[in-house]
Every structure is written in structure tokens, then in C-alpha cells.
């Protein structure tokens, strides 16, 4: 029996029942696929329901305010996905008359849709014969064929894309694509795959050669960099000082408390002596640290954040206005604590602090 047929038989018995599998609506599939980019199914599920309820059709999505989309996206990470979705929805309205396209060549033109997502949308919505190549597929194929070409190199990407296309079931690309991803997620897992009960354990090259735990091969990225952020929670007369992040760095254009970054791992005592601090605050501005250092681990940097609160509101002196700050007016204590808590404790970035 062919690889594809065996795989689909496994899938019919062990596959997951996921909400976006009960439809061929390309809009709903697009929604799920963007949310699931570099995101586990369990993490993305509640967001999928939230978005579908807020925007049942693509024209509603296109008509929404970006702030509303970002607020729904809050906490999911890779925020450019949300902005690209908004762009894509507008493209569907303007270029496709509001009818969400389902062919590979059309959907890949949409912002935020690359090879993987275009193959997924076109195969799931119209059974187009395009093979998906995601992290699961790299893993399954590299082990099955015993290929040690790095999956994140230029050559590796090309090699695996070709093999994936060869293995695809041309008559049922939709089921095949779902099957190979579920197989990777549930059976051929990154760590401790259960090869003894695997339906491919006789033909799988990696299993026969005992190298399953060394495949797939991946080129290592750069080491994470440490960064030190100092946040100032500054309030006076029921106003709270906030600022908007810039375009280029992490959490682009999102909101946070006013912040100074230092090269060294400074405590409040050290921070007070820096030229940077005195550029922004008067000597009379007296702060106390709130809690301990909070570590935010991102995929490519470690951020050590400290939070300081003004000891006496009257001592506030801001010397420079190039901070891009603004005041949240008439904030009540509950809302303020909610804001601080969600930012400080929950490790979630703020989308819109104006309630």
C-alpha cells in the first residue's frame, strides 16, 4: 500500500476533530491557518472561535478597525499576522469583489499568505493538489526517508518541497494534507515518538537505522540577546502615563508603560545615575521598585523588565517630550490595576489602553 493511503487510513482512525475541518469555506480556513502559523492548536483554538464570532464573513473583517482586530489578537504573538490579515481582507473586498478566493495562485497574493498557507487553503477548500510543507511535514519526511539535509537551508527547503509534492495523493489532497500534519503532531512527534506502534515502522529509514532522534536536522540560529527594560508606572490626578512602541522593534506599535532600556543589568540605584534617566526625569522624581525582575522570554531575546512607581505624584517632572507618551485620562483604580496586572503578570502586551 502506498505511503499516502496508509497515512490516510491512520488519519481516519486517529485524526483530530477540529472545527475548521468541518467546512470548505476558504475564509474560515484562512482564519484558522493564519492563527495557527507557529502556534499550537490548543493555543489558537479560543482565538479562532473569537475571530469567527466577531467577523463571520470577510467583509466584516475588512470593515473592522485595526485596533479591534489587534485587541482580539492580544496575547497570541507575532502581531504582524493580525495586521496582514486586515490587509488581506481588504484585498479580498477590493480585488476579489468580497468573494474569498480558493485557488493557490490567488490566495498566495494575499498579505501574510505564503507557500504553506496557500497550499492549505487551496487544498482544504477546493481539493487543489498542492502539498503543504510545515514543521510536521519536514519531520515526517526526513525520518521516513532518512534525509539529513537541514530543513531550514535553501537546498533543504527545495528538496523537501519536491518530495512532499511527490508523496501527495493527487485525488484527495485535502485529506492527505490534514493527515500528514496530524501524523506529525500526534505520532511522529519531535521528542519520543512512539515508533513501536507506528504503521510505518518497517519502512521508515530513520527507525531502521536508529536515528529517529537525530532527524530532522536543523541549522542553529543565533543565540538570544539579553535586554534590560525599565518601566515607569506614573500616575497623577487619575491619569496614567502610557507610551506607544516604535515601528522597528519587538511589539511594534503596541502600547506599554513609558520605558527606558539600558545595556547593563542595572537596578534602580544604578539607573538613577545614568545620563539617560536624567534626560527624562528631574532629580526630584523619586521612584520605588515594584516587585522583582520579570523575565520575558521571546524566541530571539530575553527581556529583563523592572517596574518602578512614583513615590510621590507631586514630584513628577518629565523633562523631554520625545518619549511619545500620552495620558490615559480619568482612570479608576480597578482599571488601572487590571492594566498593570495584565502587562506585568500575564506577560501580555497591551493593544489599546483606552477603555
Partner DNA sequence: AAGGCGGGGGT
Partner DNA sequence: ACCCCAGCCTT
- Let me know if 33 is a catalytic residue: yes
Nearer to DNA, 205 or 316 (CB): 205
Peptide bond into 216 cis (omega under 30): yes
Q: Does 292 bind DNA (CB under 7 A)?
A: no
Nearer to DNA, 24 or 38 (CB): 38
Q: Does 250 bind DNA (CB under 7 A)?
A: yes
Residue 33: CB atoms within 10 A of its CB come to: 24
Piece in contact with DNA (CB under 7 A), picked from 216-224, 260-268, 271-279, 322-330? 216-224
Q: Which residues contact 179 (CB under 8 A, 6 or more apart)?
A: 7, 8, 10, 11, 15
Piece in contact with DNA (CB under 7 A), picked from 13-21, 165-173, 231-239, 333-341? 13-21
Out of 134, 144, 235, 353, the only residue in the binding site for DNA (CB under 7 A) is 134
Pairwise CA distance, residues 14 & 10, whole Å? 6
Q: Is the dihedral of CA 274, 277, 281, 287 positive or negative?
A: negative
Give residues 20-49 in contact with DNA (rule: CB under 7 A): 20-21, 32-33, 36-43
What one-character DSSP code corresponds to residue 151?
A: T
Out of 6, 244, 296, 336, the only residue in the binding site for DNA (CB under 7 A) is 296
Pairwise CA distance, residues 340 & 334, whole Å? 10
Out of 26, 130, 176, 184, the only residue in the binding site for DNA (CB under 7 A) is 184
Q: What are phi and psi of 228, to 5 degrees?
A: -125, 115
Q: Does 181 bind DNA (CB under 7 A)?
A: yes
Alpha helix positions (H), the chain: 3-14, 26-35, 41-54, 58-63, 66-73, 80-95, 104-107, 115-126, 135-145, 154-167, 173-182, 205-209, 268-272, 275-280, 333-344
Contact status, residue 33 vs residue 120, Cβ threshold 8 Å: yes
Q: Residue 315 CB, nearest distance to DNA (Å)?
A: 32
Site string for DNA, 90-129 (x = CB under 7 A): ---------------------xxxxxxxx-x---------
Out of 102, 123, 125, 178, the only residue in the binding site for DNA (CB under 7 A) is 178
Q: Residue 249 CB, nearest distance to DNA (Å)?
A: 4
Q: Residue 192 CB, nearest distance to DNA (Å)?
A: 6
Pairwise CA distance, residues 255 & 326, whole Å? 10
Residue 233: CB atoms within 10 A of its CB come to: 20
Nearer to DNA, 153 or 291 (CB): 153
Site string for DNA, 252-291 (x = CB under 7 A): x---------------------------------------
Tell me which of 13, 33, 66, 283 is the catalytic residue. Answer: 33
Instruction: Provide DSSP, 254-312.
Output: -EES-EEEESS---HHHHHTSHHHHHHB-TT--EEEEEEEEEEE-SSEEEEEEEEEES-
Site string for DNA, 51-90 (x = CB under 7 A): ------------------------xxxxxx---x------
CA angle 18, 117, 246 (to 5 degrees): 105
For DNA, the binding residues (CB under 7 A) are 18, 20-21, 32-33, 36-43, 75-80, 84, 111-118, 120, 134-136, 138-139, 153-154, 178, 181-182, 184-185, 190-192, 216, 218-224, 248-252, 296-301, 346-349
Catalytic residues: 33
Amino acid at each position: 500500500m502506498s505511503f499516502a493511503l496508509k497515512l490516510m487510513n491512520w488519519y481516519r482512525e486517529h485524526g483530530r476533530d477540529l472545527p475548521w475541518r468541518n467546512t470548505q469555506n476558504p475564509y474560515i480556513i484562512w482564519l484558522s491557518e493564519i492563527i495557527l502559523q507557529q502556534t499550537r492548536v490548543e493555543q489558537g483554538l479560543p482565538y479562532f472561535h473569537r475571530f469567527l464570532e466577531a467577523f463571520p464573513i470577510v467583509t466584516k473583517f475588512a470593515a473592522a478597525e485595526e485596533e479591534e482586530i489587534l485587541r482580539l489578537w492580544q496575547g497570541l504573538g507575532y502581531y504582524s499576522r493580525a495586521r496582514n490579515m486586515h490587509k488581506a481582507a481588504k484585498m479580498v473586498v477590493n480585488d476579489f469583489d468580497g468573494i474569498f478566493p480558493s485557488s493557490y495562485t490567488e490566495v498566495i497574493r494575499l498579505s501574510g499568505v505564503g507557500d504553506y498557507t496557500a497550499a492549505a487553503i487551496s487544498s482544504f477548500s477546493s481539493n487543489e493538489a498542492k502539498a503543504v510543507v510545515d514543521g510536521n511535514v519536514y519531520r515526517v519526511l526526513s525520518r521516513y526517508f532518512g534525509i539529513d539535509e537541514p530543513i531550514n537551508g535553501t537546498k533543504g527547503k527545495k528538496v523537501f518541497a519536491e518530495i512532499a509534492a511527490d508523496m501527495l495523493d493527487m485525488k484527495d489532497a485535502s485529506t492527505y494534507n490534514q493527515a500528514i500534519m496530524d501524523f506529525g503532531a500526534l505520532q511522529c512527534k519531535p521528542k519520543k515518538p512512539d515508533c513501536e506502534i507506528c504503521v510505518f515502522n518497517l519502512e521508515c529509514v530513520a527507525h531502521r537505522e536508529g536515528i529517529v532522534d537525530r532527524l530532522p536536522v536543523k541549522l542553529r540560529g543565533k543565540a538570544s540577546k539579553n535586554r534590560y527594560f525599565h518601566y515607569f508606572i506614573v500616575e497623577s490626578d487619575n491619569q496614567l502615563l502610557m507610551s506607544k512602541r516604535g515601528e522597528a522593534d519587538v511589539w511594534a506599535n503596541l502600547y506599554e508603560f513609558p520605558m527606558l532600556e539600558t545595556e547593563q543589568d542595572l537596578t534602580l540605584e544604578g539607573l538613577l545615575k545614568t545620563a539617560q534617566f536624567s534626560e527624562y526625569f528631574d532629580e526630584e522624581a523619586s521612584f520605588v521598585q515594584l516587585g522583582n525582575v520579570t523575565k520575558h522570554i521571546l524566541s530571539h531575546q530575553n527581556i529583563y523588565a523592572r517596574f518602578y512607581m512614583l513615590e510621590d505624584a507631586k514630584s513628577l517632572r518629565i523633562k523631554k517630550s520625545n518619549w511619545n507618551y500620552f495620558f490615559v485620562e480619568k482612570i479608576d483604580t480597578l482599571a488601572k490595576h487590571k492594566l498593570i496586572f495584565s502587562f506585568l503578570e500575564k506577560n501580555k502586551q497591551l493593544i489599546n489602553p483606552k477603555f
